[in-house]
Structure 1
Amino acid sequence: MVAAGCSATSGDDPATADADGSDVGGDVVLVTHDSFSLPKKLVRAFEQETGYTLVHTPAGDGGELTSKLELTQGEPLGDVAFGVDNTFAASALDAGVFAPYEAPLPDGVEDFRLPGDDDHALTPVDTGNVCVNVDTAWFADHDLAPPASLDDLTDPAYEGLFVTPGATTSTPGMAFLLATIGEYGDGWTDYWGDLLANDAQVVKGWEDAYFVDFTYSGGDRPIVLSYDTSPAYTVKDGESSTKALLDTCFRQVEYAGVLDGAENPAGAEALVDWLVSPEVQAALPTSMYVFPVDPAAPLPKQWARFAEQPAETLEVSPEEIADNRRDWLTTWTELTSR
């Protein structure tokens, strides 16, 4: 939930030689989406323990990140990428963006691996559910019952109230498109036609939707696409003023991977290992408002009450996404461009 800054440090010290003559240290460049953030003390600890200097390079929202990685395949923007999720991952693998690397994983994390990633090029780091969220305080003030389902978003009662990031530029936006495909099948285009006719707004990225247009942040739209963890962010005086609609959710898993052609592959592997370390996994909920993939990682106390997870999520298989993603996005772009 926190807008990313360059939380990692940078430097250009040359690598030093280990006792066996191999190079260690130097820069290791981490390319991420704009919402990446981890405590500086963790970054310093990584640098001190490994001898590498972590350089953080934001590359836009998740969709933009994936596109840039594909366009620079073989001559990458850095050594490691974090933030490609299960809605875009198959495309990145097909493009040869990532090099094989099987990181040591805590017990239970294997469950989050991407089906079809036989080379283990992608390491799961965090998870969460993309869900429609509502500003319950706004609805109470306007004496209007909030929506409860995807169907409700097309009801004239909610005309002009919903904002979502785009499917071509945002991984949450892509997850929402997949949620509608999972719910309506081939009828998803009719649903989107009705949604847009009800004056749904499509913006570039999640941060634009949540921090600009959502009423909680001072905007004028009280329904926003966000996460099941978001209500834990809006707690004041022991109560949350927002709520996730748990019947609208699509599970998102974010991955890290060593980039093919990385200048510092040893540093890249050390960095991937670090992202699934107990220290980083424990920091994810308060740093990025996502669930760690390590089931043993502790969660903030208030998450038990306010970060409620859905019992079931809307689903589209990775194979179906890989086979149809391009056509779906082309159709979606045509719909939203009218």
Structure 2
Amino acid sequence: MARRLAALAAALSLVAVVPARAEDKPVLTVYTYESFTPDWGPGPRIEAAFERTCACDLRFVGLEDGVSILNRLKLEGASTQADVVLGLTAELVPEAKATGLLAPSGVDLSALTVPGGFGDDTFVPFDRLDLAFVYDSEAVEDPATSLDALVNGDPDEKIAIQDPRTSTPGLALLLWVKAVYGDRAEEAWTKLSRRILTVTPGWSESYGLFTKGEVPIVLSYTTSPTYHEIEEKTDRYKAMRFAEGHYRQVELAARLKASPHADLAESFLRFLVSPEVQSILPVTNWALPVAATAEPLPAAFGNVVQPPKPLEIPAEEVARQRSGWTEEWLRAMARR
């Protein structure tokens, strides 16, 4: 009997050990934008690949869009549950650093190829995109060839855009208009507002309206038609090429100073620029890589519209002026 009880106790102790070890697995929480996390997005594939190497549980928290991530960090402060933030853009770097919540990345960026260059001790670029207005060629007969033509175009031909207060493409459009029109930006917004059917909090909502046929033009990226070409075998959707140039976005990730998993967070940042992830991002996030890929890009990427020039406003100026430029936009939208 004593031997049986001892054997039973030993067996029970082994059973107890298994969940305890599972519970001890560190959880790395990554705040990102909502289109990163679905089954068709890059999140699940990156999660599976990283978990094969980290002995951890990688969890993505999807927020509306990139600016929403920064807003969430400001709201939560040092009590944030995030270990990493993924999806801010270069324009937001000064504001994000000003929170005091972020730590140096520890990642060597010297091998990255970011047009115009990027050097920072905190943020790690993981992909890049050029903003574009994407249109349905079965609904739009005469696509605009300049931002000015779009602004002054047919008000009955509607457009969906994103809110610059919550969305990084929405913010990029705010800066695009400012870069082209300068002091006349509010006037341009007033004209463009006649064509805007809706302003959504994030990219997913407006692009969903576009693919459902509820609006013929949407603010997106030059690479968006590539998704339809590869996944849906159609060239119906196209990106307008504007003579003034297109606003460029570089997407970034950073780790939180208060994270209890500093080494793990640094490993994840380094993993984002690995050949494996750089091959995943183009065909799931539909963005261009910033480092060497494990596989060549699909041939359809050769059809991506090449802007005549990239447009950018220095991040420090954006940090100083964003509030005032947003007020210009709000006044114009109120006149619709």
TM-score normalised by the chain length of structure 1: 0.83
Q: Tell me the equivalent position of 1:58.
A: 62
Amino acid at match of 1:123: V
Q: Tell me the equivalent position of 1:125.
A: 126
Q: Displacement, 1:225?
A: 0.5
Q: Tell me the equivalent position of 1:289.
A: 286
8 Å contact 2:137–2:236 — kept in the other structure? yes
Q: Tell me the equivalent position of 1:138.
A: 139
Q: Displacement, 1:296?
A: 4.9
What secondary structure sits across from 2:29 in the alignment? strand
Q: Which has the higher helix share?
A: 2
The structure 2 residue matched to 1:300, chosen from 298, 309, 316, is 298
| Distance in 2 separating the partners of 1:229 and 1:48 | 30
The structure 1 residue matched to 2:83, chosen from 55, 79, 86, is 79
The structure 2 residue matched to 1:167, chosen from 164, 167, 171, is 164
Change (3 A) 1:282 1:156: closer
Gaps spanning 5+ residues in structure 1: where? 1-10, 16-24
Q: Tell me the equivalent position of 1:34.
A: 34
Amino acid at match of 2:132: C
Q: Tell me the equivalent position of 1:192.
A: 189
8 Å contact 2:143–2:240 — kept in the other structure? no
Structure 1 position 264 matched with structure 2 position 287 = no
Change (3 A) 1:39 1:164: closer
Q: Tell me the equivalent position of 1:103.
A: 107
The structure 2 residue matched to 1:333, chosen from 319, 325, 330, is 330
Q: Tell me the equivalent position of 2:176.
A: 179
What secondary structure sits across from 2:259 in the alignment? coil
What secondary structure sits across from 1:72 in the alignment? helix
| Distance in 1 separating the partners of 2:227 and 2:114 | 28
Percentage of identical aligned residues: 30
| Distance in 1 separating the partners of 2:233 and 2:60 | 35
| Distance in 1 separating the partners of 2:144 and 2:114 | 36
Q: Tell me the equivalent position of 2:216.
A: 222
Q: Tell me the equivalent position of 2:16.
A: none
Q: Over aligned residue pairs, what C-alpha RMSD do you find?
A: 2.4
Gaps spanning 5+ residues in structure 2: where? 1-19
Q: Displacement, 1:94?
A: 1.6
TM-score normalised by the chain length of structure 2: 0.84
Change (3 A) 1:175 1:197: same
Moved more, 307-316 or 271-280: 307-316
8 Å contact 2:175–2:313 — kept in the other structure? yes
